C-alpha cells in the first residue's frame, strides 16, 4: 500500500519535511546557515547537478524558507538568503548536528561544533525543556491532540497510552 503524500497528511512534521523537500534541502540549509548564498557556491560545495539544485532552491524559495534577491555585487546573479521562516529551522539543524556528532562520530574528532560568537564558549546541547528550563526525556512528555487534529493524529497521540 502506498503512503499518503506528505502534503496531504494532517501532520506538522510531515508538512515540515515536505517544505524542506529532501536531504539536499537540509544540506542547502546547512550551507545557508554557514553563510553560503550563491548558486555557484552551493553547487561547488554540494556537488549537485544544476537542475537538481535549481529545483531545490526554487522549492525552498516558493515555500518561504529562502528569499532570492539580486546580488549586490553582480547584477546578473542572485543570492539566496534565509527568511524568518528559514531561520526558524536553526534549532532543528543544531539538534541534527549534535545528534550526528554523538551517534555517528568521526574517529578523528568532532567535525563541527558551535560556539557563542560573543564569548567563544560552546553552545549547550539541544534539549526539549520544561517551562522552567529542566531537560525532559520523551517519557516525561505527553502529546495532546489539538483542535486541528484529524482521526489519524488523535489515534497517534493515544498510541503510547494504549501500549502501557
The residue count of the chain comes to: 164
DSSP structural state of residue 5: P
Q: State pLDDT tens for residues 28-46.
A: 999 999 999 999 999 999 9
Q: Are 25 and 46 in contact (CB under 8 A)?
A: no
The span from the CA of 95 to the CA of 91, in Å, is: 6
pTM: 0.85
- If we measure between CA atoms, which residue out of 111, 112, 59 comes closest to residue 86? 59
Which SS3 state, helix, strand or coil, does residue 156 take?
Answer: helix
The span from the CA of 52 to the CA of 61, in Å, is: 14
- If we measure between CA atoms, which residue out of 67, 62, 93, 63 comes closest to residue 82? 67
Q: State pLDDT tens for residues 61-94.
A: 999 999 999 988 887 889 999 999 999 999 999 9
Q: State pLDDT tens for residues 137-148.
A: 988 998 898 999
Angle in degrees, 0-180, between the axes of helices 12-20 and 23-33, rounded to the nearest 10: 70
Q: How many CB atoms lie within 10 A of CB 87?
A: 13
pLDDT at 114: 95
Average pLDDT over the chain reads 90
From residue 104, alpha-carbon distances to 28, 62, 91, 108, 144 in Å are 20, 33, 19, 12, 32
Q: Are 123 and 90 in contact (CB under 8 A)?
A: no
- If we measure between CA atoms, which residue out of 121, 126, 59 comes closest to residue 92? 126
Amino acid at each position: 500500500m502506498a503512503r499518503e503524500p506528505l502534503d496531504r497528511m494532517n501532520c506538522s512534521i510531515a508538512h515540515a519535511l515536505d517544505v524542506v523537500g529532501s536531504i539536499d534541502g537540509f544540506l542547502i540549509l546547512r550551507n545557508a546557515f554557514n553563510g553560503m548564498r550563491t548558486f555557484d557556491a552551493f553547487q561547488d560545495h554540494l556537488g549537485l547537478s544544476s537542475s537538481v539544485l535549481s529545483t531545490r532552491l526554487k522549492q525552498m524559495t516558493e515555500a518561504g524558507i529562502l528569499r532570492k534577491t539580486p546580488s549586490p555585487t553582480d547584477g546578473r546573479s542572485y543570492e539566496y538568503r534565509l527568511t524568518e521562516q528559514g531561520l526558524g529551522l536553526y534549532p532543528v539543524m543544531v539538534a541534527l548536528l549534535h545528534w550526528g556528532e554523538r551517534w555517528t562520530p568521526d574517529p578523528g574528532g568532532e567535525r563541527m561544533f558551535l560556539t557563542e560568537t560573543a564569548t567563544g564558549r560552546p553552545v549547550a546541547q539541544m534539549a526539549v525543556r520544561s517551562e522552567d528550563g529542566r531537560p525532559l526525556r520523551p517519557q516525561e512528555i505527553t502529546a495532546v491532540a489539538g483542535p486541528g487534529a484529524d482521526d489519524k493524529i488523535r489515534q497517534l497521540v493515544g498510541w503510547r497510552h494504549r501500549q502501557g
